[in-house]
Amino acid sequence: MSDTKASRSAADDGARLLVYGAYGYTGRLIVEAAVERGHEPIVAGRNRQKARGVASSLGLQARCFTVEDAAGHLGDVDAVLNCAGPFSETADALVDACIETGTHYLDITGELAVFERISRLGSAAADAGVTLLPGVGFDVVPTDCLAAHLHRRLPEATHLSLAIEADGGISPGTLKTALSDLGSGGAVRRDGQLRHEAVGARTRVVDFGDGFRRAVSIPWGDVSTAYHTTGIPNIDVYLSLPTNARRAVALSSSLSGVLDTDAVKRALSWLVDRSIEGPDEATRAGGEARVWGEARTDDERVVSRLRTPETYELTVETALRCAEKVLAGDAAAGYETPAGAFGPDFVLEIPGVERVDLVDGEVVDRETDESEADEGETAADETAAGE
C-alpha cells in the first residue's frame, strides 16, 4: 500500500471508503447506514445514472466504472466494500485492482468458490500491505465467529458442523446469486480437502433453541472460511428449510445440469428482477436468524448457538464495522476471515446478538442479558446417511 494510503488508513483520518454495487438492495442499505454513522462513502457501480441517483439523494460523490476498469478509479480510495453480486462475476477483477493500487478489499459474498480464489491471493496482498476480507455480511460473520468460539472451547476438535435458520424475505441479488451457484452443486470438507456432492446430500436434526428442525447440507462459504479460521479438517454446513423447500433442493440437484446453462440462468435472472423485491423495513426489523454449531472429537462434543438480528440488518452492521476496523488498521495485511481478523467475540459487538454454550444439552453460558428460558438440547441430533 502506498505511504499516503497506509498512513491515512492507520490514523483513520479522512480514510476513504468506496462501496461498489452501492445502488443494489444491500449496497444502498449499507451506504445509508454509513452516512448515519458519519461516513461519506463514494457511491460506485457500473451504471452512471443509478450511482448518481443514490449519491445525490445522500449528498455523496458518485463514481462509475466496470470491475475490469477498477484500478484506474481507486487511486484515492483506502478500502473497497464490494456489494455487487454474484461475486463470481465481480470479486476477481476488484481484488486484482485492489492489490495493484494498495487498496483494502472487503465484500459480502457467501460464495464458496469466491472465498477459495481470494484466499489464494493472500501472500500477494500481504506483500502489497492490503487486507483481503471477504464475507463480512451474515455470510459469514456469525458462523465464522461461532466456528472460532467452538474451536476455542474444544481446540482438539476434528469435526465441525454449522447450521443456519433465518426468518424474513430475500433480495433479488441474493436469489440470483443462489441461482447462479446451483449448477456448482454442494460441498463439504473432509481431511482438509473440499469434497463436492449434491446440495442436500446430508440432513441433520438441529435444535436452534426453540425446537427441532430438519436441515439440509449446503455449500456455504464456511466450508472454506471455517477451515481457514480454525484448521478443523472436517466441516459441514446445513440450512434449515421447510419441507416444500427441501423438496425443491432435491429437485434443483437433479436439475443442476439444466440450471447450469447460461441461457436458463439469464432467463431466471430476468424473472427475478421483475418479480422479487427485497424485504421491507418492517420485515427486516422484526426478523431474526439462528445459528447452531457443534465441534467434536471421537469422545467429546460441544455445542453453541447464536441468535442474531435479521440477516440484512446484521449484514449492514457487520459490513460497516469490518470496514471501520480495516480502515483503522485493525486487520493484518493478507487474506483474512472475519473471526480470524477480529476474534470469535466480534459478533457479540453487534446489538441484539446472543450466544449460548451447551454441554450435554445443558446451557452453561449465555453471553447477553436478553435471557429467556432455554430448554437445552436433547439427544435428537441425527447424522445423515453417508456419514
List residues binding ligand NAP (CB under 6 A).
21, 23-27, 45-47, 50, 67, 83-87, 89-90, 108, 110, 137-139, 171-174, 177, 278, 311-312, 315
Residue nearer to ligand NAP on the CB measure, 137 or 334: 137
Residue nearer to ligand NAP on the CB measure, 21 or 293: 21
Residue nearer to ligand NAP on the CB measure, 201 or 314: 314
Q: Which residue is nearest to ligand NAP (CB)?
A: 173
What 383-387 contacts at long range (C-beta under 8 Å, 24+ apart), as own/partner pairs, is: 383/202, 383/204, 384/201, 384/202, 384/203, 384/204, 384/217, 385/202, 386/201, 386/202, 387/202
In the bound complex, what is the minimum distance in angstroms from residue 117's beta carbon to ligand NAP?
Answer: 15
Strand bridging mode 301-309 / 354-359: antiparallel
Residue nearer to ligand NAP on the CB measure, 41 or 45: 45
Q: Is the peptide bond before 351 cis (omega within 30 degrees of 0)?
A: no
Q: Which three cell numbers stand for residue 64?
A: 462509475
Q: How far is CA 172 from CA 268, 279, 338, in A?
A: 11, 10, 25
The Cα–Cα gap between 9 and 47 comes to 28
In the bound complex, what is the minimum distance in angstroms from residue 7's beta carbon to ligand NAP?
Answer: 31
Residue nearer to ligand NAP on the CB measure, 1 or 147: 147
The Cα–Cα gap between 44 and 24 comes to 10
Report the Cα–Cα distance between both ends of the chain, in Å, rounded. 46
In the bound complex, what is the minimum distance in angstroms from residue 265's beta carbon to ligand NAP?
Answer: 12
In the bound complex, what is the minimum distance in angstroms from residue 323's beta carbon to ligand NAP?
Answer: 13
Q: Around Cβ 122, how many Cβ atoms within 10 Å?
A: 15
Cα of 34 vs its chain's centroid, Å: 19
In the bound complex, what is the minimum distance in angstroms from residue 191's beta carbon to ligand NAP?
Answer: 28
Q: Check if the beta carbon of residue 350 is closer than 8 Å to that of residue 320.
A: no
Q: What does the DSSP assignment read for 311-374?
A: HHHHHHHHHHHHHHHHHTT-S-SEE--HHHHH-TTGGGGSTT-EEEEEETTEEEEE-SS-----
Residue nearer to ligand NAP on the CB measure, 181 or 207: 181
115: closest CA among 338, 275, 264?
A: 338
Residue nearer to ligand NAP on the CB measure, 174 or 240: 174
Residue nearer to ligand NAP on the CB measure, 137 or 309: 137
In the bound complex, what is the minimum distance in angstroms from residue 365's beta carbon to ligand NAP?
Answer: 26
In the bound complex, what is the minimum distance in angstroms from residue 312's beta carbon to ligand NAP?
Answer: 6
In the bound complex, what is the minimum distance in angstroms from residue 131's beta carbon to ligand NAP?
Answer: 17
